[in-house]
A and B are shown apart, each in its own frame.
Chain A
Amino acid sequence: MSAPVASLAVLSHAARCRTHCPYCAYQCGVVMSQPGGGAWTVAGDPQFPVNNGQLCIKGWTAAELLGNPERVTTPLMRTTAGKLAPAAWGEALDFVADGIRRIRAEHGPEAVGLFGSGALTNEKAYLLGKFARLAVGTPHMDYNGRFCMSSAAGAGNKAFGIDRGLPFPVSDIADAEVILLVGANSADTLPPIMQWFDRQKANGGRLIVADPRRSATARTADLHLPVTPGSDLALANGLLFLAIEERLIDEAYIASRTVGFDAVRSAVLTYDPPRVERITGVREAALRTCVRWLAEAEGAMILTGRGPEQQSKGVDTVLAFINLALALGKVGRPASGFGTLTGQGNGQGGREHGQKADQLPGYRLIEVDAHRAHVAKVWGVDPASLPRKGKSAYELLDSLGPDGGIRGLLVMGSNVAVASPHAGNIINRLKSLDLLAVCDAFLNETSAEADVVFPVYQWAEEEGTMTNLEGRVIRRRAAAASPPGVRGDIDVLRELATRLGAGDKFAFHSAPEVFEEFRRATAGGTADYSGITYDRIDREEGVFWPCPAEDHPGTPRLFAERFHHADGKAKFHAVTHRPAGEEPDADYPLYLTTGRYKEHYNSGAQTRLVSTLAAAQPRPRAQLHPHLAARLGAERGSVLVLETRRGRAEFAADVSHDVRQDTIFVPFHWGGRGAVNLLTNPALDPTSRMPEYKVAAVRVAAVRPPTDQEVPA
């Protein structure tokens, strides 16, 4: 793919535009064009140094979202007959504002909740958080990134004093001698990142993958550790046990750059290989190989994905891997260190600027007085008027309805009816609301329950910044015209705020206007964007935060000199293995774990509408081992009825040697009877409030013969 770089500049903006993919945190650069003025096409941007022109199949087909016949182009309101019907913007906005006012008057502002998304630009995420605190006055503002990055975020903050997913550009991957990927299936979830792993391999590097499945990523690895679901923490502690036993730890580094190692040394002493083999299922020889490779490499990386993070001990699990990276002296060295691979498009920026229940812009904390004072000053309000900390995502959703206390909800860019654990409960909760308003470009399982749907711009139709998985702040540019009748989320918030009497705080008509205030709000915070401008982003192919001044170069690499705690040291945390919220037992004897297909993104609300993707992967299948299938009398295509303590769902069987014999894997991109989140367990991490998507106890309640429709292609 050799798009002629030089010619890009001379083409008119309307005909050809550089922007970024609508989907994941890798945020590939794309070049959009409209050959012959017809349908838009998308190609990889060879100039953007992250993807270098590569795209995955989702990216290549993303243009199908523009001009898609399913697009919502007019506000919809539920009629007395219970159907969503077209309505005028003014009518829909009045209805929602009246609803919020009425609920506030009768039940107080805490009876209104807001739910945001890691898909929103920084400007919109910032504005939505501000809207919750100022226009509505509720503490209950959270977002779907809670389901994604909160455990890694919690661990990063504890250990390093900062939460930036990768403390280095992805290009550093190519130079790492050894990489341990824990519960990350990047080949399917961030396909273009594999070019850096390919280069790493070409440079003689080694890759180790820990995953209960032999995933597409694990297949490329030099060593695969097929861990028992929920046992990653024991794996990490077991590796550190061996590092200590084999005298592989870096005592000088530990002494000069960290605090708290002694307690960790004691805590891991009981993670001897037989115990760790028994918990993890990983053989001792593989454990030893893994830790030796890591220790002996000049530069070694440990990168986590959602596998270890989406657990009820997710924070402690990530801390255990950070402990290992620190003890081996790998953090802050060139092409080396610890990172987490962020999932959603703006999963990084979205977790920094006040969409979280406990947070204010710039990664400030809503319970810290100095932080409240700074943000209140930017917003021109009394700090005391800001609400305190609210409910986390699942707890917020589980509080919807009269008995939970949250009677009205505004959802922006998230399909909570599919993406939440124990989704059957959440759907019932949504049904019990007095008011549900949804901002989205397409209808989905969540808007199916809405009273009002606001049709809003999608990715290529509006300006805004995103922060990719490296912490690089980039620009999405408006390439395509939006269909008539559609408006922006910024417009919706302005119009609602005006009707709620806070119009002066939301008088924004464009993303650049929001960005200027947003920069000031982040100034001096941990995630300081104040030195970043749209022009700089254009000139520099993105700017890495923290960037506290316009003449500051940005920070591609963290931790070379110091960590972000006051003393400059990284902190060890003694953590110990504990069982998952639910372990297999006689009634539910198997593990259920969830994940992704490379053809789909999140709840599938967008990708299920793209014909190429829907044809390639039309439905979810339950992956199980041939031994297990034989015991159940199932074959490829058999319909498996899976049951947990929370629900029941049906999937075609995908019989494969690539999964542990005690584990069933199902992707989560579908709703209805094929929604695996009907089965998942909302056991929450005590720190991050992350639900346990990756471990539940399941049984196969019935096996039915294959039907024509359900036999996979």
Chain B
Amino acid sequence: MTRPALAIIGNGMATARLLDELAARGGLTKFAVTVFGEEPHGAYNRILLNRVLMGGAVDEITLKPRAWYAERGVQFVPGVAVTRLSHAAQRLWTSDGKEFFFDTAVFATGSTARVPDVEGLRRPDGTMKRGAFVYRTAADVQQMRHHARPGMRAAVVGGGLLGLEAAKGLSDLGLSVTVVHLFDVLMNRQVDALGGQFLRRAIERLGITVRTSVSTKAVLGDKRVEGLSFGGETLPAEMVVFSSGIKPRIDLAQESDVPCNAGILVDDQLRTELKRLYAVGECAEHDRTVYGTVQPIYEQCKVLADVLTGADPHAAYRGSKVYTKLKVAGVEVASMGRIDADRTGDECVQVIEEARGVYRKLVVRDNRLVGAVLVGDSSAAAGLVQLFDDGSPLPPNRLDVLASGEAIPGGGGSDPEVCNCHHVRTSALVGAIRSGCDTLPKLSDQTRAGTGCGSCRGQLANLILQNAPSTTRKG
């Protein structure tokens, strides 16, 4: 009996994850899986592209080497685009003219960089002028790396998460970098206005110039990039990188009459409105939301694998809680959920530490954490994100949850336990010694330390020597 054919269109992080989730449920033997990828590589981890920018090989960030597919009986069709899909005929066609039948197809086409339509960016053939890049694929980043030279001036258009990472990467390569941002707040999707001020200062401290509230009108230069024009003012640059956001790749779906809005519309089981067609990841729109971070995609892939394999036919995706961190060494930014108190009754807790350059904000609704912004010190993020996820009630003093990095505030080691049998700590012993227990028997009588296994008696004697009032002058 032939296995049903499952076509997965796209080979990005969603597909890599979906394949793992399918494998865990026997899906790779249940279906004859074919993966179509436009790039030549096996799937790689896009959020680590900075490693390639810094000179690493694509292999270092590869999630699925090409051999992986073959070893698991997955047909991998790299280096071609799917150009047409017929729902009625259950067929799709690739850019090299081949035709494939499917029983079920998954759109995992991801997104592309959103490039503003500015004058002078493109050559007559539509390609971008030499020196202009987007920050999206391994090939993009390899070309950036090839072009970049220490001392060169670079402009990064877009001061979001990706833009700042690209800027830091180029700065580390020795370029003089200016971030050009359309809005007045950097990372405006993750950081509120006040936090944006702290972020800006932190970025500037790295030696990166920041220009906010500027709209790029034109790319200057004849054959190659020579600068940007903001409509009057100009910024000289030999390199420009567009990281002004992403847009879902829905062209194939639209042409195949799959209903789309900003993304391909899916329900709680990642089904499109056409039978046997699914969508997952950055190309999918669920409950009016298109996600651009990786955790929601993982959650979608789990549900989709449950649904496709029948492992849990009732699995449902209900949306994701978003947590992001900026991966720029020296600038800590963490953000989760809501960044502003936008409903009556929402509480907002802000801690502003100018001297430390730290800004921290909690958004609390119904006694639960629904959002947080941390700039300059994200050590509380690990504890906060778990409160954000599990929705447990906050302590009355909200500052308790900001007090430290983790679920258990305070490090060990400051007040070690000396007597393990009776759990007596150094502080208690020192207190007893200072108030008169200056011999071992007195100290043991008072604190019980040393009366169990006795192995701490040497330590007790030392503590007495060091702390008893009459003996402190010794040594």
A283 lies within 8 A of B379 (CB): yes
Binary flags per residue of A573-598, CB closer than 8 Å to B gives 1, else 0: 00010000000100001000000001
Cα distance, A288 to B454, chains bound together (Å) = 38
A219 lies within 8 A of B413 (CB): yes
A281 lies within 8 A of B386 (CB): yes
Cα distance, A660 to B407, chains bound together (Å) = 5
A56 lies within 8 A of B421 (CB): yes
Q: Hey, which chain A residues are within 8 Å of B20, CB to CB?
A: 576
Q: Is A148 at the interface (CB under 8 A from chain B)?
A: no
Q: Hey, which chain A residues are within 8 Å of B454, CB to CB?
A: 1, 60
Scan residues 43-87 of chain B and give those whose CB is less than 8 A from a CB of chain A: 45, 47-48, 51, 60-65, 68
Nearest Cβ in chain A — how far from B358, in angstroms?
14
Contact of B45 among A270, A584, A657 (CB under 8 A): A270
Contact of B323 among A278, A584, A631 (CB under 8 A): A278
Contact of B325 among A187, A224, A262, A284 (CB under 8 A): A284
Q: Hey, which chain B residues are within 8 Å of A214, CB to CB?
A: 408, 410, 412
Q: Is B103 at the interface (CB under 8 A from chain A)?
A: no
Q: Is A427 at the interface (CB under 8 A from chain B)?
A: no
Q: Hey, which chain B residues are within 8 Å of A213, CB to CB?
A: 408
Contact-residue size bin, chain A (C-beta under 8 Å from the other chain): 35 or more
Q: Is B309 at the interface (CB under 8 A from chain A)?
A: no
Contact-residue size bin, chain B (C-beta under 8 Å from the other chain): 35 or more
B420 lies within 8 A of A224 (CB): no
Nearest Cβ in chain A — how far from B93, in angstroms?
31
A195 lies within 8 A of B413 (CB): no
Q: Is A546 at the interface (CB under 8 A from chain B)?
A: no
Q: A273-B325, A281-B386, A658-B408 are in contact. Are A54 and B379 (CB under 8 A)?
A: no
Chain B, residue nearest A263 (CB): B68
B455 lies within 8 A of A226 (CB): no
Binary flags per residue of B364-383, CB closer than 8 Å to A gives 1, else 0: 00000000000000111111
Binary flags per residue of A340-351, CB closer than 8 Å to B gives 1, else 0: 000000000000
A274 lies within 8 A of B415 (CB): no
Q: Hey, which chain B residues are within 8 Å of A225, CB to CB?
A: 406
A57 lies within 8 A of B452 (CB): yes
Contact of B405 among A57, A272, A283 (CB under 8 A): A283
Q: Is A541 at the interface (CB under 8 A from chain B)?
A: no
A218 lies within 8 A of B412 (CB): yes
Nearest Cβ in chain A — how far from B14, in angstroms?
12
B45 lies within 8 A of A269 (CB): yes
A187 lies within 8 A of B63 (CB): no
Scan residues 290-320 of chain B and give those whose CB is less than 8 A from a CB of chain A: 294-295, 298
A277 lies within 8 A of B382 (CB): yes
Cα distance, A417 to B382, chains bound together (Å) = 39
Contact of A221 among B17, B390, B413 (CB under 8 A): B413
Contact of A223 among B65, B294, B378, B411 (CB under 8 A): B411
B63 lies within 8 A of A266 (CB): yes
In the complex, which of the residues B17, B48, B417, B452 has the most CB atoms of chain A within 10 Å of its own CB atom? Answer: B452
Cα distance, A219 to B392, chains bound together (Å) = 27
Q: Is B231 at the interface (CB under 8 A from chain A)?
A: no
Cα distance, A228 to B390, chains bound together (Å) = 12
Q: Hey, which chain B residues are within 8 Å of A278, CB to CB?
A: 295, 323, 382, 385-386, 389
A220 lies within 8 A of B417 (CB): yes
Q: Hey, which chain A residues are within 8 Å of B334, CB to CB?
A: 274
Q: Is B416 at the interface (CB under 8 A from chain A)?
A: yes
B407 lies within 8 A of A281 (CB): yes
Chain A, residue nearest B451 (CB): A57
Q: Is B400 at the interface (CB under 8 A from chain A)?
A: yes
Q: Hey, which chain B residues are within 8 Å of A221, CB to CB?
A: 412-413
A60 lies within 8 A of B408 (CB): no
Q: Is B142 at the interface (CB under 8 A from chain A)?
A: no
Q: Hey, which chain A residues are within 8 Å of B409, CB to CB?
A: 657
A598 lies within 8 A of B408 (CB): no
Cα distance, A657 to B406, chains bound together (Å) = 12
Q: Hey, which chain A residues are within 8 Å of B379, CB to CB?
A: 283, 285
A274 lies within 8 A of B323 (CB): yes
Nearest Cβ in chain B — how far from A287, in angstroms?
9
Binary flags per residue of B334-345, CB closer than 8 Å to A gives 1, else 0: 100000000000
Cα distance, A426 to B35, chains bound together (Å) = 49
Q: Is B324 at the interface (CB under 8 A from chain A)?
A: yes
Q: Is B395 at the interface (CB under 8 A from chain A)?
A: yes
Q: Is A470 at the interface (CB under 8 A from chain B)?
A: no
Q: Hey, which chain B residues are within 8 Å of A280, CB to CB?
A: 382
Nearest Cβ in chain B — how far from A227, in angstroms?
9
B453 lies within 8 A of A282 (CB): no
Q: Hey, which chain B residues are within 8 Å of A216, CB to CB?
A: 417, 420, 423
Binary flags per residue of B29-49, CB closer than 8 Å to A gives 1, else 0: 000000000000000010110
Q: Hey, which chain B residues are within 8 Å of A194, CB to CB?
A: 420
Which A residues are within 8 Å of any B CB, using their own CB?
1, 44, 54-57, 59-60, 187-188, 191-192, 194-195, 209, 212-214, 216, 218-226, 228, 244-245, 262, 265-266, 269-270, 272-275, 277-278, 280-286, 576, 584, 589, 598, 627, 630-631, 657-662
Supply 19 A–B pairs (Cβ within 8 Å), ascending by A. A1-B455, A55-B455, A194-B420, A214-B408, A216-B423, A219-B412, A228-B386, A269-B61, A272-B327, A275-B295, A281-B406, A283-B381, A284-B378, A576-B20, A598-B420, A627-B395, A660-B408, A661-B392, A662-B390
- A-B pairs, top 5 by smallest CB distance, nearest first, are A283-B405, A277-B382, A283-B382, A660-B407, A57-B452
Besides the known contacts A55-B455, A60-B453, A272-B48, 7 further A-B residue pairs in the complex with CB atoms under 8 A apart: A187-B417, A221-B413, A223-B412, A270-B294, A286-B406, A576-B20, A662-B392
